[in-house]
Amino acid sequence: MSDWSEGVAWSPELETGNEAIDEQHKQLFKLTSDLVEASSGNSETLEETLNFLVAYTVKHFADEEALQVKHRFALYEKHKKLHDQFKETVNGLVMQFRENSSSAELVSKVNTIIVRWLIQHIQREDVKIAAHIRKLSRDAK
């Protein structure tokens, strides 16, 4: 999955095993794909899609962090810091878009920064949360 120019697609290898997290991740991928698609349209549509992606990312991170607190995930602080850094990166991309309105540049950055981060974060970090929750469920039985 190194070439994102074909679009942004969810794949089963990204599943964490936690249904709520996986559903939100699928939605993030759909929104990112919509952003790539919107880039060929007018800048108003592109900005609306970008703003919705940003808002959904904030919601998803809040939900995921609440789940970590609820289940006393030991790496919560580290995970939250990764989320906060990503939100700063996305906000920087939004600012660049608003200043330059360069959709080609934005799509390139979405493809190289946002998509790569989401995939790596899911595969390296979010799977740890899901495994922790599954372990707690097994231990509770």
pLDDT tens figures, 125-141: 999 999 999 898 888 87
HSE, CB side, 13 Å, CA atoms: give it for residue 64: 31
pLDDT of 1 higher than 60: no
| Helices within 39-114 (DSSP H only) | 43-70, 76-100, 103-109
More confident residue, 97 or 56: 56
pLDDT of residue 5: 42
DSSP label at residue 101: -
Enter the tokens of residue 63: 């939900």
pLDDT of residue 102: 63
pLDDT of 3 higher than 80: no
Second CATH level (architecture) for the domain 16-140: Up-down Bundle (1.20)
Question: CA Rg, the chain, in Å?
Answer: 16
pLDDT of 113 higher than 90: no
- Under 8 Å between Cβ of 65 and 83: yes
Q: How confident is the model at residue 41 (pLDDT cuts 50, 70, 90)?
A: low
**pLDDT > 90 in the chain, percent:** 35
